[in-house]
Amino acid sequence: MYHNPVLLKQSVDALVTNPDGIYVDCTFGGGGHSREILSRLSEKGKLFSFDQDLDALKNTIDDPRFTLVNQNFRFLENSMLAYGISKVDGILGDLGVSSHQFDEAERGFSTRSDAPLDMRMNVMQSLDAKKIINDYEEEDLANIFYQYGELRESRKLAREIVHHRKTKKINTTEELKSLFSYIPAFKQNKFFAQVFQAIRIEVNQELEVLKEMLVQSYNILKTEGRLVVISYHSLEDRLVKRFLKNGMFEGEPQRDIYGNYAKVFELLQTKAIIPDDKEIEENSRARSAKMRVGIKL
């Protein structure tokens, strides 16, 4: 299985309201969500799916209603305009790393396998995990671990890395992990997950890319069009929640004389939608998933 889609039925139920409409799947991967979307569309419907990972191209769908765009979804608006599309009925984003990317040991995403420090979702880009670990300044490393990994001991981690690399480059995931052998065994899984998450987010500029996608989604959605986003950690979910609430990522929105601010989305459901126990049991990746749905006003 390339990728077991999370919240498959719930996300597509929320997304597809017009069988004749135009839809976008920002994260094609193995095509699980895309195939489900296509099953809900009429012959007039259209689906455009984005994926920057060359591996995902092997999963393309032979369907005249389907177009696979080999691009990062940060280029959503311009890519759609290139196809002559200015407005769409719904946009889905299933964020994070696919099961396939984790399972391909040589990509360096997994904490379980020894592999080159890579973590690039787009293997054509120059910045990889090895460059970050060996070339970034100590203060920049500390900031990445603190902001993207939410690690309180971020300065200590950065200091350890910089001290070690003075004598020997850090080339693999196991070499990186070996620097922190002092972490108690019962804490290691969570600790290394946070370290790897921080590096991966920096390599792929995940939070900046997400912000760009959210803003562009609002621009190209029709009124009453739906934005469905599935996130897997609090940093992503916070951005999505805030954007759906008031169209901003930071700061305070302007309010009218009555203290109300102009809403840009109506929420389909106030609380995040999460997988049930059965799905989590069948697919461990679903454990941290949160889905939010906005209807453009």
**Do residue 220 and residue 199 come from a single domain?**
no
Residue 32 annotated as binding site: yes
Residue 94 annotated as binding site: yes
**Do residue 73 and residue 113 come from a single domain?**
no
Residue 101 annotated as binding site: yes
* Cβ 69 vs Cβ 17: under 8 Å: no
What mean pLDDT is reported for the chain? 93
Q: Of 159, 174, 205, which closes a domain?
A: 205
3 within domain boundaries: no
CATH number of the structural domain spanning residue 184: 1.10.150.170
Instruction: Say what angle helices 185-204 and 138-149 make with each other, to 10 degrees.
Output: 110
**Do residue 73 and residue 88 come from a single domain?**
yes
**Do residue 71 and residue 44 come from a single domain?**
yes
**Do residue 169 and residue 155 come from a single domain?**
yes
* Cβ 265 vs Cβ 239: under 8 Å: no
2 within domain boundaries: no
Residue 30 annotated as binding site: no
**Do residue 121 and residue 162 come from a single domain?**
yes
Cα radius of gyration rounded to whole Å, the chain: 20
Q: Of 146, 178, 205, which closes a domain?
A: 205
**Do residue 82 and residue 128 come from a single domain?**
no
27: closest CA among 1, 46, 48, 45?
A: 48
1 within domain boundaries: no
Domain count, the chain: 2
Q: What percent of the chain has pLDDT over 70?
A: 96
Tens digit of each residue's pLDDT (9 = 90 or more) over 126-167: 999 999 999 999 999 999 999 999 999 999 999 999 999 999
**Do residue 279 and residue 238 come from a single domain?**
yes
- The pLDDT score that the predictor gives to residue 53 is 83
Tens digit of each residue's pLDDT (9 = 90 or more) over 223-275: 999 999 999 999 999 999 999 999 999 887 777 778 788 889 999 999 999 99
Residue 190 belongs to domain spanning? 108-205
**Do residue 130 and residue 88 come from a single domain?**
no
Average pLDDT on 58-81 reads: 96
Confidence class of residue 175 from pLDDT cuts 50, 70 and 90? very high
166 within domain boundaries: yes
Tens digit of each residue's pLDDT (9 = 90 or more) over 97-108: 765 555 566 677
**Do residue 125 and residue 161 come from a single domain?**
yes
**Do residue 185 and residue 130 come from a single domain?**
yes
168 within domain boundaries: yes
112 within domain boundaries: yes
Q: Of 173, 205, 237, which closes a domain?
A: 205
- The pLDDT score that the predictor gives to residue 170 is 98
**Do residue 211 and residue 86 come from a single domain?**
yes
Average pLDDT on 211-220 reads: 98
User: What are the CA-CA distances from residue 153 to residues 24, 140, 163, 195 (Å)?
Assistant: 40, 14, 16, 11
31 within domain boundaries: yes
276 within domain boundaries: yes
CATH number of the structural domain spanning residue 93: 3.40.50.150
Residue 51 annotated as binding site: yes
